[in-house]
Amino acid sequence: MPRIRTGGIEAHYESSGAGAPTVCLIHGTGGAGNVWMRQLEDLAGMGRLVAPDLPGHRQSGGEAALSIAQSADFVASFLDALAVRRVVIGGHSMGGAIALQFALTRPDRTIGVILVGTGARLRVLPRLLELLAGEYPEGVRLLMSMALAAGAPADLRTSLHRLTFANPPPVVLRDLQACDAFDVMDRIATIAVPTVAICGEEDQLTPPKYTRFFGEKIVGCRAVVVPGAGHYVQVERPDATTTAMRDLLATVGGGPVLAKSRS
């Protein structure tokens, strides 16, 4: 898979498809671009899809960012390095926060938004942050225990665990500290491009309420709550997730919609 020099680091990214639009998909806490493999395969006919490993994650160099804004800056420089100006920006969990930050600060570059298992504010359980700071493996285990739907297969649990532990110890803590400081609740109504928000019905980390909030506040945003899935809905129910993303991509280019008032 390709690598590119950007923002002072060597960044690894997954890639599929070609042509317009470019869709950039950003992974969540302790993750990597390969959490989007099914979507990269299934949506390759709808444009060019790229999914970077964020700095300090899996195969990319550098250190994990300290804030969502810093990660959004990295995504912008990554897209610059690919010579991509306008993009459908999407993300899962922390990656969704990064996508929102990108869309809010770079509306001229954003032609669509895909929000998966995320929220406009991402407060983290204090106990989780405490454990990650003091007993890191215990903290990761607590996070993983809340990550999937009750009926998720054991092999999925194992591979998610392996992916998250593959990052060096501070990464999950840094990611969750960045999430904990993120709050754009009073700004998301200004998003004025086609948007879809998707989450699992059993998501404990970013509950369906967060996704419904997007549907209420962003004009034309479709909120999709998928039964039988937890926080990793794009992995647990890839077909339902891909279908909702495909529907969104079919509307991109249909022109801007009016932003909702901030009330």
158 contacts: CB under 8 Å, gap ≥ 6: none
* Interface with ligand COA (CB under 6 A), residue from 167, 213, 218, 223: 213
- Residue 160 Cβ, how far from ligand COA at the closest point, in Å? 15
- If one asks whether residue 122 binds ligand COA (CB under 6 A), the answer comes out as yes
Q: Is the CB of 51 or the CB of 188 nearer to ligand COA?
A: 188
- If one asks whether residue 23 binds ligand COA (CB under 6 A), the answer comes out as no
Q: How far apart are CA 45 and CA 260, in angstroms?
A: 32
- Residue 205 Cβ, how far from ligand COA at the closest point, in Å? 4
243 contacts: CB under 8 Å, gap ≥ 6: none
* Interface with ligand COA (CB under 6 A), residue from 49, 64, 76, 128: 128
Report the 3 state secondary structure along 121-148: ECCCCHHHHHHHHHCHHHHHHHHHHCCC
- Piece of 30-38, 59-67, 123-131, 190-198 that binds ligand COA (CB under 6 A): 123-131
- If one asks whether residue 124 binds ligand COA (CB under 6 A), the answer comes out as yes
Q: Is the CB of 7 or the CB of 139 nearer to ligand COA?
A: 139
- If one asks whether residue 123 binds ligand COA (CB under 6 A), the answer comes out as yes
Which of the residues 80 through 109 are near ligand COA (CB under 6 A)?
Answer: 93
- Residue 178 Cβ, how far from ligand COA at the closest point, in Å? 9
Is 119 in a helix, a strand, or coil?
A: coil
* Interface with ligand COA (CB under 6 A), residue from 133, 209, 250, 254: 209
- If one asks whether residue 119 binds ligand COA (CB under 6 A), the answer comes out as yes
CA angle 9, 10, 11 (to 5 degrees): 105
Report the Cα 129 to chain-centroid distance in Å. Answer: 20
The residue with its CB nearest to ligand COA is 119
64 contacts: CB under 8 Å, gap ≥ 6: 54, 55, 56, 57, 167, 170, 171, 174, 175
- Residue 129 Cβ, how far from ligand COA at the closest point, in Å? 8
Strand ranges in the chain using DSSP code E only, listed in sequence order: 3-6, 9-17, 22-26, 48-52, 87-92, 110-116, 195-200, 222-226
Binding interface with ligand COA (CB under 6 A):
93, 119-125, 128, 179, 205-206, 209-210, 213
